[in-house]
A and B are shown apart, each in its own frame.
Chain A
């Protein structure tokens, strides 16, 4: 079992924003996390990365409590928001700094970056410019690559398709799908882009007001129609 949640709740201003009684994620699953604004997607990802304190409940990563040990950090990576970027570094420095934390060699970093050359579109790698001076879209790309470059076995991404142009959305959704198939990386990806998330996910979790109201491992046309109805897209 890669991730397990037991009776997890998070309360902000006396309002329960997340309440998940039981959730298990198996190795190699690519979980699409969807829901309207305020459904609790980012809160869930922050709880899974131990960045906020749960009001109750426990998160296990490979059967170990994430708030008690730090072992999970060796095989887990995430990109949630700009708080994951070191803005006074250049993208290359950021990638290499991240990689060194996970003992990834320079050669491997270059190899991985080579795979992202189309995604970076000659605008990121090799640029002698600090991350803070990049556009929002390019910052998003740097964050996503930074999360992947550490070769994680568990990857959390919060709305990775935001701010990206259509070709970049297409590229990254395919890349994540391939990575999941090739390396068996367990992923939880939240998104409002139903099309992208449907194309790559092996399991869909629908959140509403902090609760999982739909958990389906059959990602098919019926589910797509059901969710389109839910989001009033039809």
Chain B
């Protein structure tokens, strides 16, 4: 099997994909994001010398600064690649039956790695430092050697990650996550089904990781006095802290269940899945609230403010975000690559969730600006409370809207 055949097959699988338009759009968006990211990395790299004085002593040589920072970032690179880099060898399994294909596949993968952005983003970051500091002090040869060494190390890390991931290609049963409980209540069962899906799907686990990262970032920034003092800033950031978990997962609502949607649609009480998801989000939001109560200095005013934001997030934002089931038009591959996750996600669903968040928060901001923060707090408390009380009616209504259009959605889910 020739290497160019593999390139040709890859090209054909791309252009003949029934969702090619969507894929082109996604690739375009990813391309723009990568260019922006590279620009940002280049700019950040310009300040490496200044940052290094914070991390290392003032007397540290530029070479030492480069080596230490490179080692630190390569360690981060390893973690990032492990979590996010697509390393799916299974797509080549079918080609292994062709004569002399193993060697061609290895070369093909190696060639693809050479141009993979995962393997040169650190070069962009270090480029200015190498050009402005290393080259004038140590000469061109040292600069180029370090650049090449960095590139090679990144490729070796990618190779290692690919090896690790292919060794665990078959999803092993994790006994710690077996959750071998068989509750008899229908709601508990749907709740457990969601937890299992979240834990067992690598794609959803990545969302969980994103949530934990953003939660940690929020908890770090909450110590900022400006954030604590300004009601509006606190409203936006704290709402995001409370709502990010449901928002991250609701953007895949029904798209994640698409692979077994036929089964769900003939099951009685299927609509309970919405209530189960809501119940799953609830303790996480309440837990986030309790964490804030511990982290922030306690005053009754802060307590009432946080309670109002919590009510509004649980009630209004979370419940409204369930609307995205009406726009669920793609099947998410629970076990596919991260790229597939992007390509298969109906961006409209994510947009609806974001729109709900923005609109709901804007409304509170408007009330605050027109009246006062006290009125806004009352509004959040009352509207949140009403939504929570009538959540069942809301889910029934949404399901009623979804049901007549289920056929066309199921057709798409079967692709």
In the bound complex, do residue A83 and residue B260 qualify as a contact, i.e. CB atoms below 8 Å apart?
yes
Report if A22 contacts B (CB, 8 A).
no
Task: State whether A73 touches B268 (Cβ < 8 A).
Answer: yes
- 8 interchain residue pairs of minimum CB distance: A96-B182, A53-B407, A83-B262, A73-B268, A84-B263, A88-B200, A100-B189, A128-B173
Q: In the assembled complex, which residues on chain B have CB atoms less than 8 Å from the CB atom of A80?
A: 262
- A101–B170 CB distance below 8 A: no
Cβ-defined contact, A83 with B414, below 8 A: yes
Give per-residue flags for B398-409: 1 if the beta carbon is below 8 A from chain A beta carbons, else 0: 000000000110
User: A51's contact among B170, B266, B268, B334, by CB below 8 Å, is which?
Assistant: B266
Would you call B231 an interface residue if the criterion is a C-beta within 8 Å of the partner chain's C-beta atoms?
no
B413 nearest in chain A by CB position: A83
Give the Cβ gap from A10 to chain B, nearest Cβ, in Å: 11
B36 at the interface (CB under 8 A from A): no
Select one of A49, A52, A89, A105 contacting B196, CB under 8 A. Answer: A89
The answer to whether residues A128 and B178 also contact, given A83-B414, A101-B267, A102-B268 and a CB cut-off of 8 A, is yes
**A129 in contact with B173 (CB, 8 Å):** yes
Asked whether, in the complex, the Cβ of B268 is within 8 Å of the Cβ of A86, the reply is: no
Partner among A53, A73, A89, A93 whose Cβ is within 8 Å of the Cβ of B267 = A73
- In chain A, positions 55-106 with a C-beta closer than 8 Å to chain B are 70, 73-74, 76-78, 80-81, 83-90, 92-93, 96-98, 100-103, 105-106
B72 within 8 A of A: no
- The answer, among B178, B259, B266, B408, for a CB contact under 8 Å with A49, is B266
Select A70's contact among B175, B259, B268, beta carbons within 8 Å.
B268
Determine whether the beta carbon of B189 is less than 8 Å from that of A74: no
CB-based contact B260/A85 at 8 Å: yes
Is the pair B182, A133 in contact by a Cβ cutoff of 8 Å? no
Closest CB of chain B to A14's CB: distance in Å? Answer: 16
Chain A hits for B178, CB < 8 A: 90, 128
Additional pairs, 4, CB under 8 Å, beyond known A53-B408, A76-B266 = A49-B266, A77-B266, A85-B260, A92-B182
Q: Which residue of B lies closest to A84 (CB)?
A: B263
Q: How far is the CA of A49 from the CA of B268 in the complex (A)?
A: 12
A208 contacts chain B at the CB level, 8 A cutoff: no
B101 beta carbon closer than 8 Å to chain A: no
Cα of A80 to Cα of B260 in the assembled complex, Å: 12
A100 lies within 8 A of B185 (CB): yes
Q: A51 and B410: CB pair below 8 A?
A: yes
Task: For B109, list chain A residues within 8 Å (CB).
Answer: none
A132 touches B265 (CB 8 A): no
B271 CB, min distance to chain A CBs, angstroms: 9
Q: Does A50 contact B (CB under 8 A)?
A: yes
Bound complex: CA of A232 vs CA of B191, how far in Å? 52
Shortest CB distance A52–B (Å): 6
Chain A residue total in the interface (Cβ 8 A):
38
Partner of A88, one of B185, B201, B269, B407: B201
Q: CB of B411 within 8 A of chain A?
A: yes
B186 contacts chain A at the CB level, 8 A cutoff: yes
Contacts of B179 in A (CB 8 A): 93
Residue contact B260 to A84, C-beta cutoff 8 Å: yes
**Would A128 and B201 be within 8 Å (CB), given that A52-B410, A84-B260 are in contact?**
no
Contact residues of B between 198 and 217, Cβ < 8 Å to A = 200-201
Q: Which residue of A lies closest to B272 (CB)?
A: A101
Q: Quick check: is A130 within 8 A (CB to CB) of the other chain?
A: yes
Q: Cβ of B193 < 8 Å from any Cβ of A? A: yes
| B144-185 interface code vs A (CB 8 A; 1 in, 0 out) | 000000000000000000000000001101010011101111
Chain B residues within an 8 Å CB radius of A87: 259-260, 334-335
Most buried by B among A76, A80, A132: A132
Check A97/B189 contact, CB under 8 A, given A132-B335, A133-B171: yes
Nearest Cβ on chain A to B406's Cβ, whole angstroms: 9
Q: How distant is the Cα of A85 from the Cα of B196 in the complex, in angstroms?
A: 15
Asked whether A52 lies within 8 Å of B182 as measured between CB atoms, the reply is no
- A102's nearest neighbour on chain B, judged by CB, is B268
Which B residues lie within 8 Å of A129 (CB)? 173
Task: Say how far B177's CB is from chain A's closest CB, in angstroms.
Answer: 11
Contact indicator A84/B193 (Cβ below 8 Å):
no
B197 at the interface (CB under 8 A from A): yes
- Residues 263 to 285 of chain B near chain A (Cβ within 8 Å): 263, 265-270
Measured between alpha carbons, how far is A173 from B195 in the docked complex, in Å?
Answer: 36
Interface: B261 (CB within 8 A): yes
Q: Are B184 and A88 touching (Cβ within 8 A)?
A: no
| B171/A101 in contact, CB under 8 A | no
CB-CB < 8 A to A51: which residues of B?
262, 265-266, 407, 410
Given contacts A83-B414, A85-B260, contact A100 B197 (CB under 8 A): no
